[in-house]
Structure 1
């Protein structure tokens, strides 16, 4: 890891920008290594991830790792996979699920962090907030954005959120599992097998 990235990660993990707007003490959850080839751009940590401090350490993460075709060790290896959600702290719960990611994270931390990840070859863009930021899809539905996955292939793949709350979406959109996931797993396996990728 470069000294610049290590220093920036330290400052990010110590961030308290949202302290007055969170229902708990800030605990930014993210991972990045300068040689990472894959970027997971999600929404924000949930309650379980806030407690453990490990990104996607919950049922959503189990499904995401299955979609990617990787095990836990590979997924949590920052030399291979960077994980930068739109908000780094659990935003709290609302009436119908977690609140939206806090908007302060992206301008304060994501842009400078991404600038220090030059080897990213594949970005998984999960859910509406990440898709709006990375893909400029404001106004488009997640379904339409994911259905149009070939337009940005092979550098970017938009995904629905892997939450169990999306079981109905997966049932009503079987093309996602039959068309997108096999190609995604092949792409990830090829990237992780390239020379120079941490083993």
Structure 2
């Protein structure tokens, strides 16, 4: 294990032991014990930046271990063993713990404590990442900043320009693969027609042995 691997492993251990939201006396407590879910890697060239774990992921400790994950793997055209191979994919959500449910039964936004405390450190220790898939508005706000558009639809629709920006790593915006977004996919057929073929080609290239 080289110095980078050791530093990343040590940081991931800290992240998985994180209790910032519990220790914050002014913050709204989680409805459960913290269980940070994150997959770091010193070799993966693709990073998946999602929102936060849902109830099923909180129970299993495995990111995207739900129907959203099934749809995401279909978008990428990879099977479960490939998806969960840390030499191919790093998976770092904006919030590491399940944030709880809102009054309508949907997931609350990612906890605000996670990204400022950990995200910059994690990204710095994964300089080999070449492509970040930013899923949903929170990941897009963090990774795209002022380059994102007013709405998620406009941001994802601007994917060609965003992917071509001279930056490292490159960033490709995606909608959330939740089955609640099925209507969005129907309204925006360009996503499957135009974006997915490019996404799949990028993934094939980046997860192949160097």
Which bin holds the TM-score, normalised by the shorter protein? over 0.9
TM-score (norm 2): 0.90
> TM-score when scaled to structure 1?
0.94
Q: Which residue of 1 aligns with 2:111?
A: 102
Which residue number in structure 2 is paired with residue 131 of structure 1? Answer: 140
Map of 2:40 onto structure 1 = 32
- CA apart distance, 1:67: 0.5
Runs (4+) of structure 1 moved beyond 3 Å? Answer: none
Inter-partner Cα distance in structure 2 for 1:170 and 1:179: 12
The count of corresponding residues between Structure 1 and Structure 2 is 195
Provide the C-alpha distance between the structure 1 equivalents of 2:143 and 2:20, rounded to a whole number of angstroms: 22
Gaps of 5+ in 1: none
**Contact preservation (8 Å) 2:133, 2:173:** yes
Please say if 1:152 is aligned against 2:155: no
Q: Is the 8 A contact 2:134 2:140 kept in 1?
A: yes
Contact 2:53/2:97 (<8 A) preserved: yes
Distance in 2 (alpha carbons) for counterparts of 1:86 and 1:34? 19
Structure 2: state its 5+ residue gaps: 24-28, 165-169
Secondary structure at the residue paired with 1:124?
A: strand
2:196 matched to which residue of 1? 181
Separation (CA, whole Å) in 2 of partners of 1:180 and 1:139: 17
How far the C-alpha of 1:152 sits from its partner, in A, is 2.1
2:73 touches 2:83 (CA, 8 Å); kept in 1? yes
Match of 1:121 in 2: 130
Asked if the contact 1:38–1:81 (Cα under 8 Å) also holds between the matched residues in 2, the reply is: yes
Check the 8 A contact 1:40/1:84 in 2, yes or no: yes
Report what 1:90 is aligned to.
Answer: 98
The residue number in structure 1 matching 2:15 is 12
CA contact (8 A) 1:42 1:130 kept: yes
What RMSD in Å do the two structures reach over aligned CA positions?
1.3
Secondary structure, aligned partner of 1:82: strand
CA-CA distance at 1:162 after TM superposition: 0.2
Residues 115-157 of structure 1, C-alpha deviations (whole Å, 9 max, x = no match): 0001111110000111111111577110000000001225211
Deviates more, 1:76-85 or 1:147-156: 147-156
State yes or no: 1:55 paired with 2:70.
no
1:170 and 2:170 correspond? no
State how far apart, in whole Å, the 2-side matches of 1:139 and 1:79 are.
32
